[in-house]
Amino acid sequence: MAVRVVTDSTADLPSEIVEDLGITVVPANVRFGNEAYKDGVDLTADEFFDKLLNGPDFPTTSQPSIGEFRDAYTQAAADADGIVSVHVSGKLSGTMNSARQGAQQAALDCPIEILDTQQASMGSGLVAIEAARAAQRGAAVEEVAAIAASAIRRSQCFALLDTLEYLVKGGRLGKARGMIGSLLRIKPLIILQDGEVHDLAKERTRGKAMARLRRTAEQFAPLETAAVMYSTNADEAVQLAESLGSLVEGSATPITARFGPALGTYVGPNSLGIVLLSAGD
């Protein structure tokens, strides 16, 4: 018996990491008009961004249902003596509420620790990875939860958007509302703080904005690990990840991953993000 780690699809975890670490991912819901999809299950990132850019409808998203979490916990508990469940910020999504109610409905003897990462995308994903690695080493549920909590305290997530249009349409602009008047004149950079979207910086060109991303990452170095996210430009993400390698301790290399449909709804095309865990506690 071991500890099982659960997260939701907004963590944007690459499928190979999910498989290698045995993480359970509960999918969010994405809807275009009358068509409903499970994030990452029956709607790929390529299909999503094609619909976003070329389709007639703007997508909407919703958290996984209480029943989906209940079923996920019940299944995970079949071969586990504890579950650690880490999720997108409760200020951005109702996912945490669904997870808590799902755990109550499951009514399992197996203990379930549910943690709000106060992050999104790989900000949650890196926490899930840390927890799953601890579980693979044989850590008990209390230790796995403590390791996840430490990762939450050390996590940072910030991004360069091509436009704020998608955050505005999706209603997730948060504390960055002061940027709206400059929508057409800037390359906006945002950061997640206390679980909400805040204004990080405004740059006039994409090149300057990319340089600001890199400088922001340097402020949190040395890093235990890092990930670079992208929506539609993989080459930029690979180059940015390579530039961050010197900030990461040891032999670890930054992960390159893609914003999935649920997060892609809000960041839009041509977006880049950096997620990191600072070294130490």
Give 156: exposed, middle or buried? Use CB within 10 Å, 0-12, 13-18, 19+.
Answer: buried
CATH number at 207 reads 3.30.1180.10
Bridge partners of 128? Answer: none
State the helix-helix crossing angle for 206-219 and 234-244, rounded to 10 degrees.
40
Mark whether 141 and 164 lie in a shared domain. Answer: no
The pTM of the full predicted model, rounded to 2 decimals, is 0.93
Bridge partners of 254? Answer: none
Cβ atoms of 119 and 127 within 8 Å: the answer is yes
> 233: domain range?
155-278
For residue 193, CA distances in Å to 61, 97, 151, 157 come to: 22, 20, 15, 8
In a structure prediction context, what are the per-residue pLDDT tens digits for the chain, which is 281 residues long?
699 999 999 999 999 999 999 999 999 999 999 999 999 999 999 999 999 999 999 999 999 999 999 999 999 999 999 999 999 999 999 999 999 999 999 989 999 999 999 999 999 999 999 999 999 999 999 999 999 999 999 999 999 999 888 888 766 555 444 445 445 567 889 999 999 999 898 888 999 999 999 999 999 999 999 999 999 999 999 999 999 999 999 888 999 999 999 999 999 999 999 999 999 77
Structure tokens belonging to residue 48: 């999503």
Mark whether 21 and 105 lie in a shared domain. Answer: yes
Q: CB within 8 A of 25, min separation 6: which ones? A: 6, 7, 8, 9, 11, 13, 18, 40
Tell me how many domains the chain contains.
2
Mark whether 113 and 237 lie in a shared domain. Answer: no
CA torsion through residues 152, 156, 160, 165, sign: positive
Nearest to 147 by CA among 163, 133, 157, 162: 133
Mark whether 130 and 27 lie in a shared domain. Answer: yes
**What is the Cα 222 distance to its own chain's centre?**
21
CATH number at 63 reads 3.40.50.10170
Mark whether 32 and 119 lie in a shared domain. Answer: yes
Among 103, 125, 153, identify where a domain stops.
153
Mark whether 33 and 77 lie in a shared domain. Answer: yes
Structure tokens belonging to residue 103: 């755990």
